[in-house]
Amino acid sequence: MNGEIDTRPGLEDYLTEVRSALSDLPADEVAEIMEDVEPNVYEVYGETGSLPALTARLGTPQSYADELRAAGDYPPPPAPAPRGTGRAFLARYVLWITGLTLVVALITGIAVENRYEPERFAVLFVVVLALLPALWLLHSRRVGRADVEALAEYQAARRAGRSAVEAVPAHITAYLRGLQPAWWLVRIVLLAVALVAALMIRSGGFVLLGVVVAILLWAGPRVRHDRRWLPVVLAANAFTVGVAIALALSVFSDAEASSNPYRYGYAGYSASGLTYDGSSVANLYAVDAQGKPIPVFYLYDQDGTPLRSYSSTCNPQGGLHSEDMTNRYPQPEVDYGQYGCVESTTMPFVPLPPVAGPSPTPTAPTGPTAPSVSTAPTLPPSAAPTTTPPPATTTPSAPAAQPPTPPTTG
């Protein structure tokens, strides 16, 4: 099928219904039949110019498929099984689990570029496990396309989708349909870009990206001839759209940060981590007044908002494991070398102790005091007393006084 099909309203649906009417035949034979049928249908459509005229000449898709069976000596289609409650339940399971898978795949695609790790994909893993029985029901033909289309919720969703498409201007719809053949290349390019980005940030999401690329390369060409693989391809497409949204948001965020450095630099933090003077801050360290590292501390701004940045640690198996953003610092430095993943909490530099300046001497409050009188003489600085005693000197002593002699009488 080429891009010309998508620009002709209703023609793709006609061919799809013909293929569905032949779906009980082996997939290889159906592909061979459709390769011969499609050019003939295109030619008739070009001659008639409208789908009603095409149907008038070739018949309805079911009758045209019956003619192809008769011309190729293929067996008639099996009688449709009665649609009981059990068959309707199985068809409803296929429809709802496919829709749930699309939603989860879209959300996971958005998250894969946001440093989410394999354990974050647990929901998608569980949903994919639930999708496996639906694929088995489709491939074993216990549930067919007609069973799903007969559901009331499918009919309601189809009407809503058609109403949304009709609300779009016709020239835009035609342009988007013309781009549909290029979607195969676009989604591969998007996934390749996302894969490179995941490898650069060492995110575990690159494993999931590789799986999605492999699914698209394998199931994409097959779904054109075997619609039973449609849930898988739709889920991969939803995942790709999520990746495209994540990349667009990342580019927009970087552009806004570059155009407004005051907002993203002065504030000290943004949605993608810490910044300082317009540069990203990967880690923070603190020391006390003696220059000793503070082993653990938490940062908050003036409003009590945590100042977070991305933190990476090693998982028990030795691989790199990125955690959520945290305001706990310092964060471990992770080295992923030939000996596996190694964490280090040592500071990558030797902090110098803060230079202690002259500390002011506390003074007691002063008030009116009474004058004091000092009896001790104040010596000038040069006449300060010394602790060395002066040398001893010898002085002549005066004669001792004699007691008076009493007078004598004769």
Among 50, 59, 53, 147, residue whose Cα is nearest residue 95:
147
6, β-bridge pairs: none
Q: Supply φ then ψ for residue 80, to 5 degrees.
A: -65, 135
- Asked if residue 42 belongs to a domain, the reply is no
Count how many domains the chain has.
1
- Asked if residue 240 belongs to a domain, the reply is no
Confidence of residue 120 (pLDDT cuts 50, 70, 90): low
DSSP letters spanning 9-59? TTHHHHHHHHHHHTTTS-HHHHHHHHHHHHHHHHHHHHHH-SHHHHHHHH-
Helix 230-259 crosses helix 205-223 at what angle (to 10 degrees)?
Answer: 130
Encoding tokens for residue 248?
Answer: 């667009």
The residue with tokens 């199985």 is 90
Burial class (CB in 10 A: 0-12, 13-18, 19+), 270: middle
The residue segments making up the domain with residue 334 are 269-344
DSSP letters spanning 169-234? -HHHHHHHHHTGGGHHHHHHHHHHHHHHHHHHTT-THHHHHHHHHHHHHHHHHHHTT-GGGHHHHH
> What pLDDT sits at residue 265?
42
Confidence of residue 149 (pLDDT cuts 50, 70, 90): confident
84 pLDDT exceeds 80? Answer: no
- Asked if residue 142 belongs to a domain, the reply is no
For the whole model, what pTM was predicted?
A: 0.48
Residue 139: Cβ within 10 Å count: 13
279, β-bridge pairs: 276
Encoding tokens for residue 112?
Answer: 């894969």
> What is the rounded (10 degree) CA torsion for 271, 275, 281, 287?
-110
How far is Cα 366 from Cα 345, in angstroms, rounded to an integer? 52
Q: Where are the beta strands (DSSP E) in 288-370?
A: 297-298, 309-314, 320-326, 328-329, 333-337, 340-344
Q: Please tell me the number of Cα atoms within 13 Å of 26 on its side-chain side.
A: 4
- Structure letter (DSSP) for residue 255: H
- Asked if residue 227 belongs to a domain, the reply is no
**Mean local confidence (pLDDT), 319-326:** 60
- Asked if residue 285 belongs to a domain, the reply is yes
141 pLDDT exceeds 50? Answer: yes
287, β-bridge pairs: 293
Encoding tokens for residue 231?
Answer: 């849930």
- Asked if residue 185 belongs to a domain, the reply is no
Q: Over the stretch 201-243, which tens digit does the pLDDT of each residue have? A: 555 555 666 677 777 777 777 777 777 888 888 888 888 888 7
For 328, the 3-state DSSP assignment is strand
Among 9-23, 182-196, 255-269, 290-304, the range with the most confident prediction by mean pLDDT is 290-304
388 pLDDT exceeds 50? Answer: no
- Asked if residue 294 belongs to a domain, the reply is yes
Between 111-115, 248-252, 389-393, the lowest mean confidence (pLDDT) is in 389-393
Q: What percent of the chain clears pLDDT 70, i.e. is strictly above it?
A: 62
Contact indicator for 242, 109 with CB cutoff of 8 Å: yes
- Asked if residue 309 belongs to a domain, the reply is yes
12 pLDDT exceeds 70? Answer: yes
